[in-house]
Amino acid sequence: MSSPVPQNSPAPEVVCIGESMVLITPVASRLAEAETAAIGHAGAEANVAVGLVAAGHRAAWASRLGDDPLGDRLSSELERRRVQLWVERDATAPTGMMFKDPGIESSDVYYYRRGSAASAMAPGFLSAERLAGVRIVHTTGITPALSPTCLDMVDQLFADARAAGATVSFDVNDRRPLWSREHAAATLARLADAADITFVGRDEAERIWGTATPDEIRAFLPSCALLVVKDGDVGATAFAHGADPVFVAAPRVEVVEPVGAGDAFASGFLAATLEERSIGERLSAGHAAAARVLVTHADMPPID
């Protein structure tokens, strides 16, 4: 399998690796009763890339898509948002799909991604040479859940990113339908503790590891250089080696739909990291980015 070929443009500051899918969302009703639906984009890593570009930074999304109209649609949407594409197209495997029933407290999601083009990513998809000059490499716990080869790819990615001099950023992003709790708990703990920057929701950490508080999560993940624990509308706490924890409360917003807010938070935090801002300012930037997504049904903010 050949490596993805970047466009002729300046090297990205951040490369985000993971699957994107076409998102089908019913209009004005639940999925079972809907007569019309909106077609959009879903994909945690691409969402982060979009947020970084919106914040004024160069970001690339690396993945595989089917050589089909859905892949064309996703590529066009990300190009329209000025994300660099490091993408392979696969004529033998489809672009993944996701259906969503949105709700204020939570959303029901239905995946159609088994055997997708992205699930065939494997070690060597991105080499250390390809990542030369990149400052941050970001992925999530969704990617290693897609297939055994994707898990192997993420393990190699951590090593190759560091060999290229990049910071490794990892968002736990546990997705229950994709793998067993036992496999997820062990794998996500290993990757989260090995990353340079890790994002995790307090609730998902309690669900998969039984760690109920930010301090317990930090004790469970002691090696990560910068651990960010998000606690919904309460706020977020950052733990850095050699420093006291920093907590920043979340702003009050009228939530329309929560999906995508975690990705937006990561994009805001990483943008402020690139700008070498303080930990507190990075948390505030994450909250501000998340707030822009919480007030819409879309996973991405509108283009200004």
Which residue numbers are catalytic? 263
Q: Which of 100, 104, 121, 120 is nearest to 40 (CA)?
A: 100
Q: How many CB atoms lie within 10 A of CB 8?
A: 6
Query: What is the rounded distance in angstroms from the CA atom of residue 176 to the CA atom of residue 110?
Result: 11
Q: Which of 103, 56, 55, 41 is nearest to 288 (CA)?
A: 55
Query: What is the rounded distance in angstroms from the CA atom of residue 262 to the CA atom of residue 283?
Result: 12
For residue 41, the surrounding DSSP H or E stretch is: strand 37-42
CB-CB contact of 158 with 39 (8 Å): no
Q: What are the residue ranges of helices labelled H in the chain?
A: 44-54, 69-80, 148-163, 181-194, 202-209, 214-220, 261-274, 279-294
CB-CB contact of 270 with 229 (8 Å): no
CB-CB contact of 95 with 116 (8 Å): yes
